[in-house]
Amino acid sequence: MTTTVGIRSKDGVVLAADKRASKGFFVGSKVVQKIFSLDGTTAVAIAGAMSDAEYLVNLAKAERRLLALRRGYPVSVKESAKLISNIVYSSMKSYNPFYV
């Protein structure tokens, strides 16, 4: 079971997550990265299958960079959340879901 916590304050956000990759009583790794930076101002905390999580983060980074280049200004946090939710939703429609 993965634990991720996010705390918002007036000055910023604190993200925390455990480092263990496990399923039930099986521990696949004791040191896994579960907090990823999308850029200098945006980060995500992941719970679920780590291979899907890493793929989703890399895809979100690429889509954000492409969108920022097309528009000429950076993507907001709200737009990033919508982008990731659209990626996850579209994968569920094709019966190839992300387990995150």
Which residues are catalytic, by number? 2
Contact, 45 vs 51, CB < 8 A? no
Query: Residues 62, 63, 69, 73: what is their CA dihedral angle, to the nearest 10 degrees?
Result: -110
Determine contact, residues 48/98, Cβ cutoff 8 Å: yes
φ, ψ for residue 32, nearest 5 deg: -135, 140
End-to-end CA distance of the chain: 12
